[in-house]
Amino acid sequence: MPEAALQRLAALLRPQAPIPLYHQVASLLRQGIEAGEWGEGEPLPSEHELAEAFGVSRITTKRALDELKAAGLVHRQRGKGSFVAKAPREHPLTAPLGELMAGLEVIARDTEVEVIAFERSEPPLRLAELFAHHRGPLVRAVRLRRKEGKPFAHYLSYTAIADRRFDRRALARKPRIALFRELGIVIRRVDQFLSAAAAEGEVAARLELDPGAPVLTLERISYAENGQAFDWLFASYRPDRFRYHMVLAGDASS
């Protein structure tokens, strides 16, 4: 992880919050792992480096790393350090792609979006292999979606689109699905991973949640006609304001 990225995470620590420091550090490191700042098998900063960056004791960072180990996110090797654990193999559930696309457009049409950040940058290490086929920077965007003025979803995305029509203004005016269609991108496959996490840092603040409050998370990878991934999105939803509804067509069995 670049030093600047580690410092950005460290700046989100809230020493005065009622949440134990070790848990805050663990949650922020988890946030960095999920955002792809460290790739699978890559080493995390040492206890000493983390203690200096976060301004806490080594006992605190050791407890934070132990918590990540207990959660299966890292494995620790004596004398070598902590490494991001290998992600478990998934057994995906298949659902109609058309219904997913239609549902996304309905959400976009009935809500408002704020584009918080828009830039062209290199992907984090976790996503480098996913986008290895793409030459040049990706579009990194951070968005917040509201309904009736109340935030319910926070999005971080990386998109392999060089077309300059895919810009901040367009993203604020139209659903991404509509923009992809206008640019001639046909989505042939979507992989989605649903989970839950504790809201921390900027995500918690933007969703108007207390640090540590539960959020529904969704990771979505979209593939174009050529079979290559062109879009990665990580979404965090307030469970009290959003419910994910998926309809399975055909002979679905339990």
- pLDDT value at position 116? 95
Domain 3-84, CATH number (from 3.40.50.300, 3.40.50.720, 3.40.80.10, 1.10.10.10): 1.10.10.10
Q: Please, which pLDDT band fits residue 253 given cuts at 50, 70 and 90?
A: very low
What percent of the chain has a predicted confidence (pLDDT) above 70? 86
The answer to whether the CB of 86 falls within 8 A of the CB of 41 is yes
- pLDDT value at position 100? 52
Q: Which residue has the tokens 């935030």?
A: 151
Q: What average pLDDT does the chain have?
A: 83
**Mean pLDDT, residues 212-228 taken together:** 89
**Mean pLDDT, residues 33-53 taken together:** 86
Strand partners of residue 10: none
Across 21-25, 50-54, 163-167, 242-246, least confident range: 242-246
- CATH architecture of the domain 97-237 equals 3-Layer(aba) Sandwich (3.40)
This prediction has a pTM of 0.61
Taking the C-alpha atoms of residue 126 and residue 143, their distance in angstroms, rounded to an integer, is 20
Give per-residue pLDDT as tens, 97-145.
444 555 555 566 678 999 999 999 888 888 888 898 888 899 999 999 9
Q: Which helix (H) or strand (E) holds 30?
A: helix 21-34
**So where are the chain's domains?**
3-84, 97-237
Closest by CA to 33, choosing from 77, 79, 83, 67, is: 83
